[in-house]
Amino acid sequence: MLDWFKKFAGLCALAMVVAACGGGDDDPAPPGTLAAEATARGFTALVAAADKAGLVPVLNAGTSSLTVFAPTDAAFTALATKLGFTSATAMVTALDGPTLAKILQYHVLPTKKPASDLVAGGATQATLYTFEGAATTLGLSTTGGVKLTDEVLTQATVTTADVAASNGVIHVIDKVLVPPGVLTVVQMAQLNPTFSVLVEAVVAANLTTTLGGNGPFTVFAPTDAAFTAALTELGLGKAQLLASPDLAGILTYHVVAGNVRAANVVALPKPASVTTVQGSAFTVGATLAITDGRARTANLAATDVIASNGVIHVIDKVLLPAVAP
């Protein structure tokens, strides 16, 4: 299929040259389709993913009028590396077509929006990817350039805007956008540098396979700043924490069985006792502050980062179970 697609793109490029020859010497060649322009401009990983996902016909259709946020090959390589693949090609080969389709649809808006329309279009943009019965959205910021915030709470920057196509427009971005409901809670944490210590701890405690399993799991995820504060509080270095026999218990104290969304937490009668996978409980108060087993309080910094096997809520403090008597 990919060879066919390359031949088709080549024919599109040839057609543009012929059309240009038919006009004046200074007339620019008309743009090709979204697929042809992506191929001509060297978006190798994006084109390979689109081909495997079965999205080439949509990107070639003359009836389409779409906006594509196109990650560079370097962006695909960065994603592949963080997820443990040797290359972008290896990642595209490993992921199945439906998974790639979800990821790519999250990069497409259903209407053509040049940069000026994006800037005027508000703080969120609805994508082609539908999840749980509704179109998913990207956060949009125009402070310091056009930036898009994805489900994993990281930002992609538009590095080149308004690449014309006959059936839409391409905006080049420097990061692959991560949609809800596709990657596991472990993979979502791996892709946000705010959780680097948490990821190290999960690996050290041999919990990667467990938390990457079917679940569902609800993870209250402390940020790196939260871990830094906890290490100071406990008088430990990071290496000591990662080698501690208590590490697995501390981490599983942050995990609740089931897919508990923010709305579920809000609906609980307060104060609510929440039993963790570790076995003991923490308490959620009226303001949604969490009180752990040592009477320390953590606050929610972000909620409902939705994974394929559960959900992540970001917290500003490492939770600690009660000290055994």
- What is the pLDDT, as a whole number, of residue 24? 52
Hey, where are the domains in the chain? 2-173, 185-315
Q: What is the per-residue pLDDT for 2?
A: 46
| Opening angle at CA 122, ends 119 and 124, nearest 5 | 110
- List residues bridging with 149 in a β-sheet: 139, 155
pLDDT of residue 79: 97
Strand-strand pairing, 108-109 and 124-131: unpaired
Structure tokens at 84: 């443990």
> Tokens 């007339």 — which residue?
27
Nearest alpha-carbon partner for 57 in 8, 100, 3, 13: 8
The pLDDT tens digits of the residues spanning 244-291 come to: 999 999 999 999 999 999 999 999 999 999 999 999 999 999 999 999
pTM of the prediction?
0.88
* Same fold: 2-173 with 185-315: yes
Residue 309's nearest CA partner among 195, 221, 188 is 188
The overall average pLDDT reported for the chain is: 91
Topology adopted by domain 185-315:
FAS1 domain (2.30.180)
Question: Quick one: 2-173 is in which CATH superfamily?
Answer: FAS1 domain (2.30.180.10)
User: Which tens digit of pLDDT belongs to each residue from 191-228?
Assistant: 999 999 999 999 999 999 999 999 899 999 999 999 99
| b (16+ CB within 10 A) / e for 139-172 | ebeeeeebbbbbbbbbebebeebebebbbbbbbb
Q: How confident is the model at residue 43 (pLDDT cuts 50, 70, 90)?
A: very high
> For 285, what's the count of Cα atoms within 13 Å in the CB-facing half-sphere?
11
Percent of the chain with pLDDT over 90: 85
Give the pLDDT mean for 31-51.
95
Quick: pLDDT tens for 7-20: 444 444 444 433 44
pLDDT at 124 over 90: yes
Neighbours of 256 (CB within 10 A): 24
pLDDT of residue 28: 67
